Amino acid sequence: MTMTSEQAAWFADTFEKLVANVGQAVLGKENVIRLTFTAMLAEGHVLFEDAPGTGKTSLARALAATVQGSNNRIQFTPDLLPSDVTGVTIYDQKTQKFEFHKGPIFNNIVLADEINRASPKTQSALLEVMEESRVTVDGVTYSAGRPFMVMATQNPIEQAGTYRLPEAQLDRFLIKTSIGYPDHASTVRLLGGSNVKDRSKELSAVITTQAVADMADLAATGHVDTAVLEYISRLCEETRNAPETRLGVSVRGALAMVRAAKVWAASQGRNFVLPDDIKELAPVVWTHRFVMDPEAEFSGATPEAVLARILADVAAPQQRTNA
């Protein structure tokens, strides 16, 4: 069943309330908040490449407070173990049974701070839960629940003692973006309220976690015309065939775009996706999935420039269609 126009209007109104509520704690970053909620409602994850102190933890807390969800922060370090993330099975001598003690990954919103500082073994502990929203420990599978979103961060400046995220893990992030520093006006507001250490504590919930899951299910019923699907497929093929890339957008990346575009369209009161939605989301949904050719990269080629050329070269479908 396809989303109706009335349902799309309700979705857009609720989406605006969510963004506005988080905006009270994270000042001057409306677009980043929109992208983060888009990832949440598309049941994906976000990678922030940011310098320290830009408000990533505040954003995670504000999101959780807005949807009445739980949140946790995991500081990724070289000595962090996979069991420190997923949890561990411990033998209880009183009951003479093994009991599973859940790790911090079992929260609605998980901030994986400086994810690239942990060893590849620990990073791999996130692969299953990010793809399937479940964790398997000692042969037993545990659901992560809904909504579930990993917000991971990595510092783009300090690379000493870090491990590069493998392509399989980067591909599991729906969106890669950055918060950046606030503008002048927002900075002045922040400084004026310096007595408030955590603005998210002052937020009231807008909806429940069950309502978020319902919104995600509703967004998934948005209409995507065959012409738009063909457009997405052609763009993905061009990223793979580009001389500057060794690896382009995967099938997972194409599916991620469809899910994100449905949410993005619904957030604007539409129950159908336009080619412009694809163009708008492509830089944050696709560029982190590129593996550049070393020689091209040395010559100055960037994923953003390659994608911009492809978007300009591949003709978008002209007909506006709805369900």
Over residues 182-233, the pLDDT tens digits come to 888 888 887 887 777 777 788 889 999 999 999 999 999 999 999 999 999 9
User: Cβ(97)–Cβ(147) under 8 Å?
Assistant: no
Whether residue 139 is predicted with pLDDT greater than 90 in this model: the reply is no
Q: Which pLDDT score is estimated for 235? A: 97
Q: Which pLDDT score is estimated for 274? A: 95
Q: Which pLDDT score is estimated for 208? A: 94
Whether residue 163 is predicted with pLDDT greater than 60 in this model: the reply is yes
Whether residue 72 is predicted with pLDDT greater than 80 in this model: the reply is yes
Output the CA angle 301-233-47, nearest 5 degrees.
55
Give the strand pairing for 87-92 and 97-102: antiparallel
DSSP sequence for 46-69: EEEE--TTSSHHHHHHHHHHHTT-
Over residues 233-291, the pLDDT tens digits come to 999 999 999 999 999 999 999 999 999 999 999 999 999 999 999 999 999 999 999 99
Record: fold of 26-185: Rossmann fold (3.40.50)
Output the CA angle 298-299-302, nearest 5 degrees.
80
pTM value is 0.90
Query: How far is residue 112's CA from residue 48's CA, in Å, rounded to a whole number?
Result: 10
pLDDT band for position 66 (50/70/90)?
Answer: very high
Give the strand pairing for 46-49 and 149-154: parallel
Query: How far is residue 220's CA from residue 214's CA, in Å, rounded to a whole number?
Result: 10
Q: Which pLDDT score is estimated for 211? A: 95
